[in-house]
Amino acid sequence: MKKVILSIVTAVFLLSGCASWKQASREERAGVGAQIGAFVGWLFGWAVGDAIDSDIGGDIGAFVGTAVGGVAGAQIAANTGEVEVEKRVPERNTVTYVLLPALEIEDILLEEDSATQNSRIDAGEQCRIALLIVNNSFQEALDVVPVVQIEQGQKLQLSEPVKIARVTRDERVTYRVTVQAPADLRTGEVLFSVYLKEKYGNGTAKETFRVPTSGR
């Protein structure tokens, strides 16, 4: 009996110190679990049975405890480590990780339909101001509204702001504002301001840019 106990205890110590337990197959874990369960069941069954009847109670309790403990131990061990873990591919680390959206207007361009293509707003011309918007964070920005206004210069008609549902770090959003110049536009320049509003207040500060104008 001492040899049986010694072999089971040895298996327990080998199991607890073995790094390959997680790599063991379901069948291997079930076998070791059965041994551990049988050992624990034998001890518990013998103790209970002996307390009831010192003559044969210990042997009967040990037999029943070994059988029940072996089955339970095998079932528990077989199911250990069976949780399925989703494997994620690390994303490219091209930006600094921050907890809040970090919006930025990366570039501002003037898009013209006229044949002149002179990088100016001409009298009577309809053109567009294009904003290249990026998000330098892992947190997506929601309900982003670019606000473009005229700070100084002649009156131009600007299209109404349009909400952008979301801006993630995996994309660059080009937002266009339509500009309609009056026929009596004079040569000079217009000072524009632009900033971004975001649903939770993670927008940008106001910045300005100048665009030359050309009259007839």
Task: Give pLDDT tens digits for 82-120.
Answer: 333 333 333 444 444 567 999 999 999 999 987 778 999
Task: Report whether pLDDT(4) > 70.
Answer: no
Range 181-207 burial, b when 16+ CB lie within 10 A, else e: beeebeeeebebebbbbbeeebbbeee
Element (H, E) at 4: helix 2-17
Higher pLDDT, residue 58 or 190: 190
**C-alpha gyration radius of the chain:** 38
Closest CA to 197 of 98, 103, 97, 99: 103
**Are both 111 and 143 inside the same structural domain?**
yes
Q: What is the pLDDT of residues 140-154, one digit of tens each?
A: 999 999 999 999 998
Task: Report whether pLDDT(186) > 60.
Answer: yes
The verdict on residue 57 lying in a domain is yes
Average pLDDT taken over every residue of the chain: 73
The verdict on residue 84 lying in a domain is no
What's the confidence (pLDDT) of residue 127?
95
**Are both 33 and 116 inside the same structural domain?**
no
**Are both 73 and 133 inside the same structural domain?**
no
The verdict on residue 160 lying in a domain is yes
Higher pLDDT, residue 39 or 79: 39
CA 114 to CA 24: how far, in whole Å? 72
Q: What is the pLDDT of residues 13-66, one digit of tens each?
A: 444 444 444 455 555 555 555 565 555 555 555 555 555 555 554 454 444 444
What's the confidence (pLDDT) of residue 47?
56
The verdict on residue 37 lying in a domain is yes
**Are both 75 and 109 inside the same structural domain?**
no
Copy the structure tokens of residue 25.
Answer: 């197959």
**Are both 13 and 72 inside the same structural domain?**
yes
**Are both 61 and 137 inside the same structural domain?**
no
**Could you tell me the CATH number of the domain that includes residue 148?**
2.60.40.10
The verdict on residue 87 lying in a domain is no
CA 41 to CA 68: how far, in whole Å? 7
What's the confidence (pLDDT) of residue 154?
85
Which residues are within 8 A (CB) of 212 and not within 5 positions of it... i.e. 6 or more apart?
119, 120, 121, 188, 189
The verdict on residue 93 lying in a domain is no
**Are both 112 and 199 inside the same structural domain?**
yes
Counting the structural domains of the chain, the total is 2
CA 27-32-36 angle, to 5 degrees, is 145
182: domain range? 103-214
**Are both 124 and 206 inside the same structural domain?**
yes
The verdict on residue 94 lying in a domain is no
**Are both 136 and 198 inside the same structural domain?**
yes
What's the confidence (pLDDT) of residue 40?
53
**Are both 111 and 58 inside the same structural domain?**
no
